[in-house]
Amino acid sequence: MFLAELLERTGLDVLDHLDRQVTVPVIDGLQAQGDLLVLPLTLLAAPAWRGGWWDLPPEGCELVRGEAGNNPHTLVADRGTCRMTWWPNDPERLAIAAFDTTAPAWLIHPEHGATGVAPGAWFVRRQRELRTRLVQRRQMRTGVQETVLIAD
């Protein structure tokens, strides 16, 4: 599917510099779109959900929005082919949603364009990074690592 066709079907848009005549790839494996990672659901040790599964609405579902309130990552799929749930029980506390799709689902982002996710069961999580900050302790400077979430 071409990006232009996907955008027309969903009513979503991307930035002008992106080529709308490009074929959107459908990936059957780990993938990233900016700060979001899509991974096979089997990688979660013992999936448990804090809520039930529901059908993805025709207009899709915004998974994450950037810190400034713009640039959403939106999951879309054909009607009746995708169901999802919020807040999978992830020991690392990075997973934000899980979805199960019988046909390709699509992640659309204004800056990144779109990527397709092959049929299967997947979870979406935020990316994290370690950074070192200097801490003053008893006249001694030491580096302390902390985990932070990546923001658009």
Q: Distance between CA 138 and CA 52 in Å, rounded?
A: 51
Asked if 127 and 32 touch (Cβ cutoff 8 Å), the reply is yes
Quote the pLDDT of residue 65.
Answer: 74
- Using DSSP bridges, classify how beta strands 82-86 and 54-55 pair: parallel, antiparallel or unpaired: antiparallel
Cα torsion angle, 91, 56, 62, 14, sign: positive
What's the whole-number mean pLDDT along residues 130-149?
53
**Is the per-residue pLDDT at 141 higher than 70?**
no
Segment holding 55, helix H or strand E: strand 54-55
Look up residue 137 and give its two tokens.
Answer: 């302790």
More confident residue, 69 or 8: 8
**Is the per-residue pLDDT at 151 higher than 50?**
no
Note the pLDDT tens digit of each residue in 68-119: 667 888 999 999 999 999 866 777 778 889 999 999 999 998 888 899 999 9
The separation between the first and the last C-alpha atoms of the chain, rounded to the nearest angstrom, is 26
Distance of CA 69 to the CA centre of its chain: 16
Which of these, 23, 24, 114, lies nearest to 60 by C-alpha position? 114
What's the whole-number mean pLDDT along residues 57-76?
82
- Window from 9-13, 18-22, 43-47, 109-113 with minimum mean pLDDT: 43-47
Segment holding 141, helix H or strand E: strand 140-149
Instruction: Supply the mean pLDDT for the chain.
Output: 81
DSSP 65-118: --TTS---EEEEE-TTSEEEEE-B--TTS-EEEEEEESS-EEEEETTTEEEEE-
